[in-house]
Structure 1
Amino acid sequence: MSKAMSKAKGFKKSKSGTYLSIATTAFGAVSVAKQARRARSENDVLRLIDAAVSAAAIVTGLAILYRELKRLGDDDVLLG
């Protein structure tokens, strides 16, 4: 594994990387909200279901990222 790949994996598990993941996931929520709004206006049940499932995935992803952020914060307290 190259040094750059190792650094990238370390960033992903850092507080900054977790915040970036939260922001990216939240940005996806905007797209899902637009999809749901469009599906409601067009009375498209399948697209509305798709938007609901996507929203559930986003909420779950944000919860996992929040838990990871808390874990990283707890580690910082123990080290300091």
Structure 2
Amino acid sequence: MSGKLEQAKGFKKSRTGLYVSIAGSLFGVVGTVKRGRQARKEGDLLKMLDVTVSAVSIATTVALLVRDIRQLDDVLADD
């Protein structure tokens, strides 16, 4: 059981795991865009602020994951 747990933990830092994480983050864009359209339609400034913060969070997450992929590529290239 311990071996499978370690393998699952390692998946997140693998290239495939990072791509899956990026895809999951990008699915959050769909909901954020829908909420943004609704907030703009209602003219709700607080909801627009919430959408903006969510969008920045998604962008930051994707940027961090892309950086991890680049670092992983550098590590693999050095071997």
User: What's the TM-score once normalised by structure 2's chain length?
Assistant: 0.94
AA paired with 1:57?
Answer: S
2:72 matched residue in structure 1: 72
Would you say how many aligned residue pairs link Structure 1 and Structure 2?
79
2:36 matched residue in structure 1: 36
Which contiguous aligned blocks of 4+ residues in structure 1 show a shift greater than 4 angstroms? none
2:6 matched residue in structure 1: 6
Amino-acid identity (%): 44
Structure 2, unpaired ranges of 5+: none
Q: CA shift at 1:4, angstroms?
A: 2.0
How far apart in 1 are the matches of 2:47 and 2:41? Answer: 11
AA paired with 2:60?
Answer: T
Structure 1, unpaired ranges of 5+: none
Q: CA shift at 1:76, angstroms?
A: 1.2
Residue 62 (1) aligns with residue 62 (2): yes
